[in-house]
Amino acid sequence: MTLTTDELLLGGSTTHTVEIPADVLMADGDAPSHVVLRPLVLADVQRIHQAAQDSRDLTSVLMVQQALVEPKVTVEEVSRMHAGLVEFLLHEVNRISGLALAGDELEQVVHAPLARACFVLAREFGWTPDECARLTIGQVLLYVDLLGRGERSWDASAA
C-alpha cells in the first residue's frame, strides 16, 4: 500500500501525554503529573537553531517551550523551571520527535545536512518545501536512510 503525503506528515501533528515522575516534578502527590507534548518538525528545529545561535541552554528551553501543548508556556516560564524538569521534558521531546542525538550532534545535524536532506526528499518525492518542513527530524532521517539503501517501496508520486 502506498503512503499518502498526509500519512507521511501525520507524525508531526500527533500529541503525546507524558507522565512526569513525582521525584522529577517535586510536587504534592495530588498535583497533576502529566503534560501534553507534540513532536518538533524540521521547521521548528531550524527556527530554534536560528534563534538560539550558539547557546545550547537556550536551544533546550526553546525546544521544550515549542513542544509543550498543555500547559502552554512561555520561554520565560521554561527558564524558571528547575533544571531536572527541563532535562526530563527535553528527553521526552527528543524521544517523540525522533531525535536520538546529543546537543552537540543536533547542532551539527541542523545546519546544512538537513537542508540538503530536504532538497533530496523534495527532488525524489516531488514534495514542496512546506511539506518537507512539516516532517519530524526522525521522518527526514528515515526517508534519507531508506533512499540511501535503495529501499524505496512506495510510489513517489503519491507522496
pLDDT at 157: 44
> Tell me: the pLDDT tens digits for 6-56?
777 776 778 999 999 888 887 666 666 899 999 988 888 888 888 877 676
| pLDDT band with cut points at 50, 70 and 90 for residue 147 | confident
Where exactly are the structural domains of the chain? 1-159
Q: What is the pLDDT of residue 152?
A: 54
Q: What is the pTM of this model?
A: 0.60
Q: What angle do CA 65, 71, 76 make, to 5 degrees?
A: 40
